[in-house]
Amino acid sequence: MNRLCDLIDQKIDDGTFVPVVDAANSTMRQLGKFLVLFVYFISTFLAFTSFFIIIPYEQIYKPAWLLVILGICGFYFLLNIQYHYYKARTIPPVACPGEEGDAFCEKCNYWKSDRAHHCSVCDKCVLGMDHHCIWINQCVGSHNHRHFFLFVANLTLAAATIITAGYPSFSDHLFIETSPNTYCTTILENAPLQDIICDYDGFARTAVVFCYLLSGILFVMVGGLTLWNVYLISIGCTYIDYLKLTGSKKKLSARKRLNKGLKANWKNFLGLRRNRTFFRCVILPTALPPVKYESLNSRPDAFDVV
């Protein structure tokens, strides 16, 4: 095993694996372009099924006022998901933000600050890098981290709403043989596309079942990612910080420098500075310029960067 490890280290040092690594990174970039289109397709499908099949069908089980609330919430989630996803994938994080005397990146041939990390896929150093996300086809770091978090948080809430409110629709269309009603066998008053949708045999049933199951998968996977981000934000870390600053007492001490307290960490991350309100920064889909953490003791700190 030691010989194998030594051989691998030797091949890495002499550049043998460089073509393989370059090919893998290129593949990830190309795959990322496809996945961006896939995200738009899936979100459009979920929205179409929710607004034009599930909500109209739920009038059998729910009062009109509740359906109106569900429609408003659905539109709000859709707006936030699309907006924050667009911002997360189009706003580039800060690259190569170092000054002479900082750590030196041999790949970029440039200085990098303490909280910059080199991404081999993007081929640049990224300030405040959390991770490279193939679903937005770029790194999550300073400038776009807030949008990425709000995207996954709103997606989780939207999936939870579909799971909670759409169960009767899912049950009726999954067990269609024993169900007294389905979308295409019931006369629905507020279903403007019912005739068109029901012209395609089996589409309504497939759409409802697939939409519900996909929402369950998203709730578990994206919800887990959201909770992990909540934890990291609460302790003032990115994922890269968490990995780099785990282990020795010195590293744990450096991590403590990042943690300004729960409230201050969240205010810093969400940009709640300079008279910005929670309603404007979080509830409304708003783009904000990145801000540096305003230290309570006014001492500059290279770790205090959003």
Question: Domain limits of the chain?
Answer: 17-283
Nearest one of 112, 117, 207, 218 to 160, comparing CA atoms: 218
Q: How far apart are CA 116 and CA 289, in angstroms?
A: 19
Cα first-last separation, the chain: 42
Does the model's pTM come out above 0.75? yes
Buried b (16+ CB within 10 A) or exposed e, 226-260: beebeebbebbbbebbbebbeeeeeeeeebeebeb
Please give the chain's pLDDT, 306 residues, in tens: 445 444 444 444 445 556 766 677 778 888 888 999 999 999 999 999 999 999 999 999 999 999 999 999 999 999 999 999 999 999 887 766 667 777 888 888 888 877 888 888 888 888 888 999 999 999 998 889 999 999 999 999 999 999 999 999 999 999 888 888 889 888 888 888 889 998 888 899 999 999 999 999 999 999 999 999 999 999 988 998 888 877 776 667 767 777 888 888 998 888 887 778 888 888 989 887 654 434 333 434 433 444
Q: Are 304 and 292 in contact (CB under 8 A)?
A: yes
